[in-house]
Structure 1
Amino acid sequence: MAKLLLSLHVLASVLFIGPVAVAVSMFPRRAQAALAAGDGQLQAAASARLLHRITQVYALLGLAVPLLGIGTAQVMGVMGDPWLITSIVLTAVAAALMLLVVVPGQQATIDSLDAPDNAEELARAGKGLRLLPMTAGVFNLLWAVVVVLMVVRPGSTTGA
């Protein structure tokens, strides 16, 4: 059972966290291009909308990763290990960033693109985009640390 859960956990992380990490990273640049172009570049706005949709859908699907991870940890008997607790905390921080900063920031930008007659709103959205690249970097760094913790597992007796 542990091997099945671990396989599903790894598969879910590759299929769900990978796309959301890429979409979150690409969104600020595409949104900035769309805001700068205004009505002139529909492709940039469509690209930003698509990346926002990918972020929303794959973030939701990504909930499977920690759920499968906790199930795997329980079956393997490692729930109290410090590396796992650290990974859980970092995953919670990444989820909070996604929920509280990334998705609302992206949504505000998309809302501004949907109302291009309001130049003031477009300018405000452009200023709001300043935080998203840094947040995307922190989000991806948190996941990278979690992956390293999953592979190295400090204190593990497996010899890895």
Structure 2
Amino acid sequence: MAKFLLSLHVLASVLFIGPVAVAVSMFPRRAKAALAGGPDQASDAGVLRILHRITQVYALLGVAVPVMGIGLAQVMDVLGQSWLIVSMVLTAVAALSLLLFVLPGQQAAVDALGLDSGDEQHGKAVQGLRLLPMTAGVFNLLWAVVVVLMIVRPGSTTGV
């Protein structure tokens, strides 16, 4: 049962967290180009909307990863180990950064696409883009640390 749950957990993390990480990373550069205007603004705006939608949908699907992880930890009887607790806390921080910073920033940029460049909301969206690359980096860094903890597992009995 543990191998089956582990397989599902790893598969879900690759299929659901991977697209979020990529979309979150690509969004700031495309948003800057779309909000700046220019010849490819319509194309950039379409890509921006798609990246935001990918972030929303796959973030929701990504909830399956920690849920399966907790089930797997119970089956493996490692629920109280420090590496797992740290991983769960980092996962929660990554989710909060996505919900509180990344998604609202993306939404502001998408909303500003339909406005004239002189509009106040457009200016706020452009200003808000300064934080998006940093929050995207923090989000991805948190997931990278979680992956390393899942592989290294301090105190594991795998002998590796």
**TM range, smaller chain:** over 0.9
Change (3 A) 1:15 1:97: same
Name the SS for the 1:150 alignment partner: helix
Do the aligned residues in 1 keep the contact of 2:33 with 2:44 (CA within 8 Å)? yes
Match of 2:35 in 1: 35
Change (3 A) 1:20 1:40: closer
Match of 2:131 in 1: 131
Which amino acid letter does the alignment assign opposite residue 67 of structure 2?
L
The alignment's C-alpha RMSD in Å is 1.3
Give the stretch that moved more between structures: 30-39 or 74-83: 30-39
Return the alpha-carbon distance in structure 2 between the equivalents of residues 116 and 139 of structure 1.
31
Match of 1:75 in 2: 75
Do the aligned residues in 1 keep the contact of 2:117 with 2:123 (CA within 8 Å)? no
Which amino acid letter does the alignment assign opposite residue 51 of structure 2?
L
Shift of 1:36: 0.2
In terms of fraction of residues, the more helix-rich structure is: 1
Give the stretch that moved more between structures: 37-46 or 142-151: 37-46
Shift of 1:104: 0.7
Which amino acid letter does the alignment assign opposite residue 28 of structure 1?
P
TM normalised by structure 1 equals 0.96
Match of 2:87 in 1: 87
Change (3 A) 1:128 1:39: farther
Shift of 1:118: 5.0
Match of 2:17 in 1: 17
Do the aligned residues in 2 keep the contact of 1:94 with 1:142 (CA within 8 Å)? yes
For residues 2-55 of structure 1, what are the alpha-carbon distances to aligned partners after superposition, in whole Å with 9 as ceiling and x for unaligned? 111110000000001000000000000001000001686200011111100000
Change (3 A) 1:117 1:138: closer
Q: How many residues align?
A: 160
Name the SS for the 2:24 alignment partner: helix
Equivalent positions of 1:29-68 (< 5 A) are 29-37=29-37, 41-68=41-68
Name structure 1 gaps, 5 residues minimum. Answer: none
Name the SS for the 2:155 alignment partner: coil
Return the alpha-carbon distance in structure 2 between the equivalents of residues 39 and 113 of structure 1.
14
Match of 1:115 in 2: 115
Name structure 2 gaps, 5 residues minimum. Answer: none
